[in-house]
Amino acid sequence: MADLEFFFDPGCPWAWVTSRWVAEVSNLRNYEVSWKFISLSMINTDKGYKPGDDYHKMMHIFGLKALRVASAARASAGNDAVAKFYTAIGTTIHVEKNREGIDTDVHKYLTDVLQRHSLPIEWANSFEDETHTAVIRYETDLALSRTGKDVGTPILTFKPGQPNEGSFFGPVISKSPRGDEALKLWDAVEMIATTSGVAELKRSLRSPLDFS
């Protein structure tokens, strides 16, 4: 059984930073992470986009297409394949800031990402496959059923399937901590998430994103 379920949209830079923290702790403590899907396109289409949200809408649409590829990767090769694909696409978009083609030739963009990271290029063929859309919708609804609907990504579920299972949106962090700092943050967030009755802990001030 996984120690954590991590719901992500590949286009979200904040989820990417949090995922690198999760990967760090997973390596340090030999934790198992189950990588699951949440679509910002589905969430915001349901709510309705605001005028001027063209860039975010474009990234969300791309995120849904990339999630279909992630779903194909899982169907083909399991959870580890999702982790590898997320690392590949996240590194390309957020660290390398290579976004050329994500709104014009998505198939080529995804194929190039897969090829450069030595992953099966045939996964890219699934970016419009509606059978994967159903999986993504199910997991998006599952994530929101655990936190409430007025949130985004990432959503983390600690101790899934256990009596003290707990879920939260976040943590939203601008830079991924390493080593002992990563472990301290994990222990704090896990304690909050699995404590009955805790609903929200938030501040709106954010430091600039740092992908290093």
pLDDT in tens, 168-206: 999 999 999 999 999 999 999 999 999 989 888 888 878
- Model confidence at 208, pLDDT cuts 50, 70, 90, reads confident
Report, as an integer, the average pLDDT of 2-28.
98
| Tens digit of each residue's pLDDT (9 = 90 or more) over 120-138 | 999 999 999 999 999 999 9
pLDDT of residue 53: 85
| Tens digit of each residue's pLDDT (9 = 90 or more) over 29-81 | 999 999 999 999 999 987 788 888 899 999 999 999 999 999 999 999 999 99
Q: Which amino acid is at 57?
A: K
Query: What are the sequence ranges of the domains in the chain?
Result: 4-193
- Both tokens of 55, joined, read 């860039």
Report, as an integer, the average pLDDT of 11-27.
98
3 pLDDT more than 90: yes
> Rounded to the nearest 10 degrees, how much is the dihedral formed by the CA atoms of 190, 191, 196, 200?
-70
State how far the Cα of 205 lies from the Cα of 149, in Å rounded to an integer.
22
- Model confidence at 106, pLDDT cuts 50, 70, 90, reads very high
pLDDT of residue 1: 85
State how far the Cα of 161 lies from the Cα of 97, in Å rounded to an integer.
37
State how far the Cα of 109 lies from the Cα of 93, in Å rounded to an integer.
11
Q: What percent of the chain has pLDDT over 70?
A: 100
Query: 4-193: what CATH class?
Result: alpha beta
pLDDT of residue 49: 83
pLDDT of residue 92: 98
